[in-house]
Structure 1
Amino acid sequence: MGKVIINSDDFGYSRGVNYGIVDAYQQGILTSTTLMANMPGFEHAAKLKKELPDLGVGVHLTLTCGKPLLTNVDSLMEGEKFRKLSFYQQSFQIDGDQLYQEWNAQIQKVYRAGIQPTHLDSHHHTHTFGSNQEVVIALAKKYDLPVRGNFERHSEVHHTTYFEPYFDDVGESDVKNTQTKLPRDTYLKGLLEKLRETESTEIMCHTAYIDQELLNGSSFVFSRVNQVKFLIESAFAAELKKDHRIELATYKDI
């Protein structure tokens, strides 16, 4: 039986994002999410989590969105905010100790909110870049937490057998806008077979309702709303619920 974790990133981004995640969990097949400790919707997300004890919540380590929690991390900043993603998409140099302290502060804030994290991943996958991998490995070992395994040194931490990065495609109506360039039915048929055959899988998605914060802050908006509906109403969602070869799970189950 394949254990399948369906994880929506960006919990805590804003109230609209939070409500989209909660609806996909309560009414659909979402099982897990990861929480951004530095974003405006954090307190709202933490309150929602208290009402949903079985929702898996990890830490969405953040380096490219909003402001850091700490003030003495100048190598991570551009002005008052984190550096943009483009800084990390080329050869870059930051202070590794500053990154460790900032990400540790983000994890600690989640614990202080009364949430026991299930795992670690990162916004824009920044834990996969260069020497940032050493930092996430050190933090994973410190807190004894699994990590999203989409990086070179994943063998040094606990992770799922497989990570599925293309599920955002289900929110796109035009195949030309998808990552796989496959018709949806073709993509989902192949994914379903993989889920049945693989010991454990994390499916990454991004569910949300649109609010002003999301519109102003992200270039990835409308697909998120479609993903909420898909996880609740699609034939794929119904199939996962009834397939005896698939167990919907969280990182606590692997």
Structure 2
Amino acid sequence: MNPTSKALGLDPHTRAVIIHADDVGMCHGANQAFVELSWAGAITCGSVMVPCPWFPEMADLAAGEPKFDLGVHLTLTCEWPGYRWRPLVSASPASGLVDSDGFMWRRVALLAEHVEPEAAEMEMRAQIDRALAAGIDVTHIDTHMGAAAIPSLVDIYVRLGQEYQLPILLPRRPEEYFRVLRMGDVDTAPYGRLAG
């Protein structure tokens, strides 16, 4: 029996596939792809990057549109060398959210090394609040490049899901997830209690 299926209103004995598009709001093409694929029924849901330049376009498209199942793709990193974005609340180096150029870190490992959890919490709250204020019916939260799920932030991420009453996405196998993110050795013991 699958409790997630039951929570989604599906038969708990049936497997379901949810096709999710992230990085919505990053660019016009990502927004158009999300809209077209949603209308075609090819994807189930997506998540929007609020600090990105094309967020306002997606917010306008999504506001009041019940067809779009859209969450917030909590964004604390920016991997692109020539296309960068900044936090909504603090571009101060003391926050640990930005590199020496004032942009979000390009790698999760660098964020993990520098981030002040309080600043990250303020940023994540600001992103959720801005999406809600823009009229998006936020259905869930997840994390760009896994940044909100790093050990120093995962409890905040979970708490925000609880406070806003939004489901969150967590990796089933955190050790593999962090290896892909090139995080090195990460103590994944805290994730065991979250999966329970």
Task: Identify whether the pair has TM-score above 0.5, normalized to the shorter chain.
Answer: yes
With the length of structure 1 as denominator, give the TM-score of the two structures: 0.57
Identity in percent = 28
1:11 aligns with 2:32: no
State whether residues 73 and 141 of structure 2, in contact with CA within 8 Å, keep that contact through their aligned partners in structure 1.
yes
Q: Which runs of 5+ in 2 are unaligned?
A: 1-13, 79-84, 175-187
CA shift in 2, pair 1:86/1:116, >3 Å: closer
Q: Deviations over 1:49-69 (max 9, x none)?
A: 136312210000001121100
Alignment match of 1:144 (pick from 158, 165, 169): 165
**Equivalent AA in structure 1 for residue 109 of structure 2:** F
Contact 2:91–2:102 (8 Å) recurs in 1: no
Counterparts of 1:1-254 in structure 2 under 5 Å? 1-50=14-63, 52-65=65-78, 66-71=85-90, 73-74=92-93, 75-78=96-99, 79-85=101-107, 87-88=109-110, 92-150=113-171, 151=174, 153=191, 156=194
Q: Equivalents in 2 of 1:11, 1:19: separation in Å?
A: 9
- 1:182-235 per-residue CA deviation (whole Å, 9 max, x = no partner) reads xxxxxxxxxxxxxxxxxxxxxxxxxxxxxxxxxxxxxxxxxxxxxxxxxxxxxx
Q: CA RMSD in A?
A: 2.2
Structure 1 residue runs of 5 or longer lacking an equivalent are 159-254
Aligned mates of 2:59, 2:132 — CA distance in 1? 10
| CA distance in 2 between partners of 1:108 and 1:157 (Å) | 26
- 1:81-106 per-residue CA deviation (whole Å, 9 max, x = no partner) reads 111115348x6242110000011100
Q: How many residues align?
A: 157
What is the CA–CA distance in structure 2 between the aligned matches of 1:105 and 1:154, rounded to whole Å?
A: 28
- In the alignment, the residues of structure 2 paired with residue 77 and residue 142 of structure 1 have an alpha-carbon distance, to the nearest angstrom, of 26
Offset of residue 143 of structure 1: 0.6
- Looking at structure 2, the residues matched to 154 and 44 of structure 1 have their Cα atoms a distance apart, in angstroms, of 39
* CA displacement at 1:154 relative to structure 2: 7.3
Shift of 1:30: 0.4
Q: Which amino acid aligns with 2:86?
A: K
With structure 2 as the length reference, what TM-score do the two structures score?
0.72
- Partners of 2:64 and 2:133 in 1: how far apart? 17
Q: Which residue of 1 aligns with 2:178?
A: none
Look at both structures and tell me which one has the larger radius of gyration over its CA atoms: 1
Paired amino acid for 1:71: S
